[in-house]
Each structure stands twice: as structure tokens, then as C-alpha cells.
Amino acid sequence: MTDVDMKPYLQRYLRTAREALLWKLDGLSDYDVRRPMTPTGTNLLGLIKHVASVSAEYFGQVFDRPFPEPLPWFEDGAEDNADMWATAEESREDIVGLYHRVWEHADATIEALDLDAPGRVPWWSENGGAVTLFRILVHVIAEINRHAGHADIVREEIDGAVGLRGGNSNLPEHDEKWWADYREQLEAAAQSAK
């Protein structure tokens, strides 16, 4: 497979991951997208903010193509985990808008550079942070899919919605009773392992 063949393939996986994560906000209230759902505070809007932030750095600073907007939650002295939640002053539209602008900036970097274009990740110690666009694409695709998996679970906890995208649950079609029985079966198996 050549670089010409690989780039669109990687871009498709990147786009699919981005869309899957963003879909998890659909139909939820502002409270529900901000609500901390785990002991460490994981929340849907925070996942979007985090992914936008790291994507801005990986497809910006790493290739000397800085994202043109300041990200104050990444500056020295910022509160720990400030990229993982939206403040009261940051609206859903602000965060989703940032996500889309970073998406466009990243896509411009991907289009402008060859897959073997060199970059440097200053916060990585391996090889002095030396990377290629190919490596960063793979890394960011994995990162977004990891957080989309978090979002899958958080969204299911909020309102039971599951799936890759609207209209595609990516699960066997069964009624609530079947799923309740299935869960009981799993619980019984887990109990037997005690």
C-alpha cells in the first residue's frame, strides 16, 4: 500500500472516530453532557474538549503548524484536568465549535504533509519525541477511539443510548427483557467466580 492509498484510509478512520464521539452528545441536555459520571469526573462534553485540545497540539505544534487559538487550559499553571470538563462560562456550542475548528486545522495539516513528514512531540521522551505524520495519525485515531469507548459507556449510563452512531446500535436487536436476562446471566457467571 502506498502513501497515496494509506492517507485516505487513515483519514476515514479519523473522521469516523470523531463523528462517533460527537454523536454521543445528541439529544442530551446541557446538564447531562457536563455531568460527571465516574469517580474521576468523566463527562461527555469534557471528552470532546479533551480530544479537541490534544488534536490541536498533535496536528499543530508537533508539525510547527500551531492551532491559531489559545487553549488556556493547556497553559502553564492551568488547573489539573482543565481540558476534561467545560466551565460554566464554556457553552456546549463553544466546545463543539472548537472541536470542529480543530478538526479543520488538523485536516489541513494532514492534507499539506506527506505521511513521512517529520514532527516532534516535546512531551514524549522516546526518540526525543521524533515522529512522522503517519505515527501521529495512528496515535490520534487510537486516542479518539479510546475516548469514544468511554463516551459509549457514559452515554449508556445516562439514558441507555448505545451504538456507533444514530440508527446503528451495532448490537443484536433484542427487547429490554432479553437484555435484563442477559445481564443477570453475566452477573451469575461473575458471582460464581468469587
**CATH code of 62's domain:** 1.20.120.450
Range of the domain at 168: 3-192
pLDDT band per the 50, 70, 90 thresholds, residue 2: low
**What CA–CA distances, in Å, run from 104 to 42, 127, 154?**
26, 29, 27
User: Domains in the chain: how many in total?
Assistant: 1
State if pTM tops 0.75.
yes
Please provide the average confidence, as pLDDT, over all residues in the chain. 93
Residues with Cβ within 8 Å of 9's Cβ and at least 6 positions away in sequence, in order, are 1
Q: Sign of the C-alpha dihedral, residues 94, 96, 100, 102?
A: positive
Q: Which of 24-33, 118-127, 161-170 has the highest mean predicted lDDT (pLDDT)?
A: 24-33
> Which of these, 101, 100, 105, lies nearest to 61 by C-alpha position?
105
For residues 11 and 162, the model is more confident at 11
Q: Assess whether pLDDT exceeds 90 at residue 161.
A: no
> Which of these, 161, 174, 154, lies nearest to 48 by C-alpha position?
154
Terminal CA-CA length for the chain: 49
27-75: pLDDT as tens digits: 999 999 999 999 999 999 999 999 999 999 999 999 999 999 999 998 8
Residues with Cβ within 8 Å of 71's Cβ and at least 6 positions away in sequence, in order, are 53, 56, 83
